[in-house]
Structure 1
Amino acid sequence: MKKNEINTHIPETTKWKEISITNKAKQQILYLMSLNPENKGIRLSIKKSGCAGFRYSMKFIKNQKIIQKNNQEDKIFYCEDILIHISWKEIIFFNGIKIDFINDKINKVFKFYNPKIEKFCGCGESFSIY
């Protein structure tokens, strides 16, 4: 985004089709959000991690103040009825991803699938993108 442009995304009507969320992930996110009435949506980000470079992170947005404060810095949109914030600086890492929720009776985990991932580290915690 250029310096003189304004982020005009209106969350109630904006959709971004570069992310998909499976029904299992949607149900789990909405369930976790329902546990605390302050949860308004999620923030997706990447963190430096592991030997391959990055890992995906998901945190709950707790109130409207955060939403308004970050409006200029974030892509804000709805996907599957979930309000999502992604920093404009990190948006390229999220193009084309699919978010799933895996419950294999031992572990419960959100899994991010990205067709652009070049390699994973040995333990699968981190990745690099070409």
Structure 2
Amino acid sequence: MAVTLTEAAARHVTRYLAKRGRGVGVRLGVKTTGCSGLAYKLEYVDEIEPEDMVFEDFGVKVLIEPKSFAYLDGTELDFVREGLNEGFKFNNPRERDRCGCGESFRV
């Protein structure tokens, strides 16, 4: 499978990278934390590392840490606005449970 971006997420990343004046895309990963065990990591990156898995949607590169791919395979990254709030949303088919605060998840 793959990790994909919605058009809204790609637009947001493209705008942010242009504002920064540098960057090749975003790197996604997971870290151990929270009450459910895992949390998503997202960072803007300037260089592709040799071990990165690279996917591309709408001209935006999504880099995945190999150790995180098992948790992220099939995930769609979206950018949503809900009322006054906006941010990235991970639509992950492997996610089985999420903690009440929304900070962590379990596969």
**TM > 0.5 between the two?**
yes
Aligned to 1:125: 103
Tell me, in whole angstroms, the C-alpha distance in 2 between the residues paired with 1:97 and 1:76: 14
Deviations 1:39-85 (A, max 9, x none): 221111112221001111111112xxx32xx21x2212323211222
Report the counterpart of residue 76 of structure 1 in structure 2.
54
Q: Distance in 2 between matches of 1:75 and 1:26?
A: 18
Q: Which has the larger radius of gyration?
A: 1
Structure 2: unaligned runs, 5 residues or longer: none
> Could you tell me the TM-score, scaled by structure 1's length?
0.75
Q: Equivalents in 1 of 2:81, 2:20: separation in Å? A: 22
TM-score (norm 2): 0.89
Quote the sequence identity (%).
30
Equivalence for 2:40: 56
Matched, 1:97 2:97: no
Aligned length: 107
> Is the 2:4–2:77 Cα contact (8 Å) retained in structure 1?
yes
* 1:27 shift after superposition: 0.8
**Structure with higher strand content:** 2
User: 2:7 is matched with which residue?
Assistant: 23
8 A Cα contact 2:3 2:62, kept in partner:
no
* Cα distance between partner residues in 1 of 2:30 and 2:74: 15
Amino acid at match of 1:52: S
Aligned partners of 1:35 and 1:122: how far apart in 2?
A: 34
Instruction: Please report how far the alpha carbon of residue 123 of structure 1 lies from its aligned counterpart in structure 2 after TM superposition.
Output: 0.9
> Structure 1 residue runs of 4+, over 3 Å off?
none
Q: Is the 8 A contact 2:29 2:65 kept in 1?
A: yes
In structure 1, the gaps of 5 or more residues are: 1-16
